[in-house]
């Protein structure tokens, strides 16, 4: 059996589809299944069992001998969350419990970290673990992810294989429930179809023109392909970046969304909301050399191809992955 936490969420539900495609059907999905807006993400998938996240560790105590691998992708993913108690509970302490359970039962573990740990990028975007104590995230969400990364690498007892994946700006099918936290592509799709235009945040940094803010956008299909690689690799534990390795502008993203819809571009700007303005990352780009060094050789989808596939194969026909 393979355990996937956060299974009704965006990335984890896509991973379940990738596992099903490879004939892994004994999948135990863990989540808060009372959040009904996420449930369509896992509808129709081949699953072994549903386990509520609050009951999971009791379940694992009884079934650990049948479990082969754990993907811990569940978390509080709202980057505007200011309640440290919520983040400590879901992102830090639950992850510590997961780590300790995987140590106890010698289960391999892949868990979700985040590029939010890099803060404003002053120290660059290298996944060298020696830099972890120096990183200064810009928000409590990033702090919670960095706190766990630092805790994990300091542990004397570790799972026999483990990997923390620093997800950059992931986009693609099954993010439909995420509201404000969904990718700009999803917001652009809806706004273009409803109003014929797209509004981006104005730059408040003199080094970037409006729409010239840059992020490493990575297609969710590439993300789950890396997860699948690690399921089979199981050597060289550590923290790994997971982006495309290529920063692109929000203007690139928006113009490609117009193109995928066959619509004439009409891009407008508004001020970045004050609650995130001082915490805004103007540039991110994953250094992917570490993952490449352990044998991951597949190419990453270009922004052009990823947006075209997402819009035309999923958003327009209203499909899930």
Provide block-wise average pLDDT over 10 residues at a time, the chain (321 residues).
96 98 97 92 96 95 98 76 66 89 98 94 95 92 91 96 97 95 96 97 94 97 98 96 98 98 97 84 95 98 98 98 96
8 Å CB contact between 241 and 168:
yes
pLDDT score recorded for residue 83 = 64
Per the residue annotation, which of 94, 125, 141, 219 is the catalytic one?
141
What pLDDT shows up at residue 219? 98
What is the predicted pLDDT for the residue at 78? 61
- Find the angle CA(302)-CA(118)-CA(269) to the nearest 5 degrees: 60
Do the beta carbons of residue 176 and residue 188 sit within 8 Å? no
Note the pTM of the prediction, 2 decimals. 0.95
Is 169 within any annotated ligand binding site?
Answer: yes
In angstroms, the CA 242 to CA 139 distance is: 20
State residue 21's pLDDT score.
97
**141 included as an active-site residue:** yes
202 annotated as belonging to a binding site for a ligand:
yes
H helix intervals, 155-200: 184-195
Known binding residue 91? Answer is: no
145 is in an annotated binding site: yes
**Residue 178 is among the residues annotated as catalytic for this protein:** yes
Given the residues 178, 208, 282, 296, the one annotated as active site? 178
């Amino acid at each position: 059996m393979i355990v996937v936490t956060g299974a009704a969420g965006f990335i984890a539900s896509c991973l379940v589809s990738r596992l099903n495609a490879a004939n892994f059907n004994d999948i135990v999905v863990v989540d808060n299944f009372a959040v009904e807006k996420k449930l369509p993400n896992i509808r129709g998938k081949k699953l072994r069992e549903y386990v509520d996240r609050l009951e999971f560790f009791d379940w694992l105590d009884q079934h650990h001998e049948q479990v082969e691998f754990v993907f811990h992708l569940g978390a509080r993913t709202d980057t505007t969350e200011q309640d440290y108690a919520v983040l400590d509970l879901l992102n830090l302490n639950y992850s510590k419990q997961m780590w300790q359970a995987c140590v106890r039962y010698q289960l391999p573990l892949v868990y979700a970290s985040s590029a939010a740990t890099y803060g404003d990028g002053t120290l660059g975007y290298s996944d060298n673990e020696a830099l972890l104590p120096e990183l200064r995230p810009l928000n409590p969400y990033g702090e919670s992810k960095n706190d766990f990364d630092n805790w994990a690498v300091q542990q004397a007892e570790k799972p026999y294989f483990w990997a923390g994946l620093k997800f950059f700006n992931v986009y693609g099918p099954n993010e439909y429930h995420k509201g404000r936290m969904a990718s700009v592509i999803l917001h652009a799709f809806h706004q273009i179809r409803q109003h014929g235009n797209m509004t981006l945040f104005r730059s408040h940094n003199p080094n970037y023109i409006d729409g010239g803010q840059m992020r490493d956008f990575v297609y969710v299909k590439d993300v789950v392909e890396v997860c699948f690689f690690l399921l089979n690799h199981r050597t060289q534990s550590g923290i790994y970046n997971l982006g495309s390795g290529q920063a692109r502008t929000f203007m690139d993203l928006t113009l490609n969304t117009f193109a995928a819809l066959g619509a004439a571009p009409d891009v407008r700007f508004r001020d970045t909301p004050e609650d995130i303005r001082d915490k805004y990352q103007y540039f991110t780009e994953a250094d992917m050399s570490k993952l490449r060094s352990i044998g991951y050789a597949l190419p990453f989808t270009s922004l052009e191809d990823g947006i075209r596939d997402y819009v035309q194969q999923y958003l327009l026909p209203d499909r899930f992955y």
